[in-house]
Amino acid sequence: MPAAVCHRFTDRRAGDLAVSGPPDELAPRRAAIHPAPWTWLRQDHGARVVTVTRPGEHAGEIADAAVTTVVDAPIAVHAADCAPLLLEADGALGVVHAGWRGLVAGVVEAAARALVDLGHPPRAARLGPCIRPRCYEFGADDLAAVASRYGHAVVATTAWGTPALDLPAAVRAACARIEVPLADDGTCTACSPVHWSHRARGDASRQALVAWSAADEPVTGRGRHGG
């Protein structure tokens, strides 16, 4: 049976998965989702992608995306407003931490190229909980930088009438560039009571997107939000 792409967009019920947390607390929380060593990243809002050839490889490295063709090698990105993005391919998968700086740097396109280099071009993408434009007030210069890369569709307005970034629209534009359809979860981290938000509440805790392939699971995903 071909390997199936499995994924989990966590929330508060899975506990704080911020990589800066105590290892003795992180280990059981990670193991409850997948028991194999995780590839987790020290994200710096850039476009570096790591290619994982064994479970846990590159754990702790500075990067904002990871790709793999290895079965049962969980790869993860973490966020509390930025966009967690899953790229699915036949026989491979990738995870992307897509904040606005990473998007401008081309992190989504870089992850797609890494999958192509592995011989497995992405065929679908899934966007998880992230901040939505009604809650994402944004400075004019930074908004212009995103718009210069992905077009005016990223320019929006907050619920209180100030300039905003439409982060999902930027992700959608990046996925259009790599010719991959995007499924959007639709959840706003700033509005959701079960997600952490750095922008809305100053949360230091993080939810995760963790994904892996499993030869014995014919159904994509093991639940998209649950703890």
Q: Is residue 124 included in any domain, yes or no?
A: yes
Q: Can you give the residue range of the structural domain that contains 117?
A: 4-132+179-214
Average pLDDT over the chain reads 94
| pLDDT of 133 higher than 50 | yes
For residue 139, tell me if it sits in a domain: no
The number of distinct structural domains making up the chain is: 1
Task: Check residue 226 and give its pLDDT.
Answer: 39
Answer yes or no: is 121 within a domain: yes
pLDDT at 222 exceeding the cut of 80: no
Give CA–CA dist 165/94, Å, rounded. 25
Structure tokens that stand for 129 in this block: 């909980």
Residue 45 burial class via C-beta count within 10 angstroms: exposed 0-12, middle 13-18, buried 19 and up: middle
Residue 24 lies in a domain: yes
Do the domain assignments include residue 48? yes
pLDDT, one tens digit per residue, over 200-221 is 999 999 999 999 999 864 433 4
> Does the pLDDT at position 223 exceed 60?
no
Structure confidence at residue 216 (pLDDT): 62
Predicted pLDDT at 215: 81
> Is position 162 within any domain?
no
Per-residue model confidence as pLDDT tens digits over 75-91: 999 999 999 999 999 99
Distance of alpha carbon 111 from alpha carbon 51, whole angstroms? 9
Q: What is the pLDDT of residues 22-57, one digit of tens each?
A: 999 999 999 999 999 999 999 999 999 999 999 999
pLDDT digits (tens, 9 = 90+) for 145-201: 999 999 999 999 999 999 999 999 999 999 999 999 999 999 999 999 999 999 999
Angle CA(210)–CA(57)–CA(224) in degrees, nearest 5?
A: 5
CA-based radius of gyration for the chain? 16
Query: Is 94 a member of any domain?
Result: yes
Domain CATH for 61:
3.60.140.10
Q: Is residue 138 part of a domain?
A: no
pTM for the model stands at 0.94
2: confidence class by pLDDT, cuts 50, 70, 90 = low
For the ranges 14-18, 143-147, 223-227, which has the lowest average pLDDT?
223-227
pLDDT of residue 130 exceeding 50, the answer is yes
- pLDDT for 198 equals 97
Q: Which residues are CB-contacts of 47 (< 8 A; sequence separation ≥ 6)?
A: 64, 65, 102, 105, 106, 107, 110
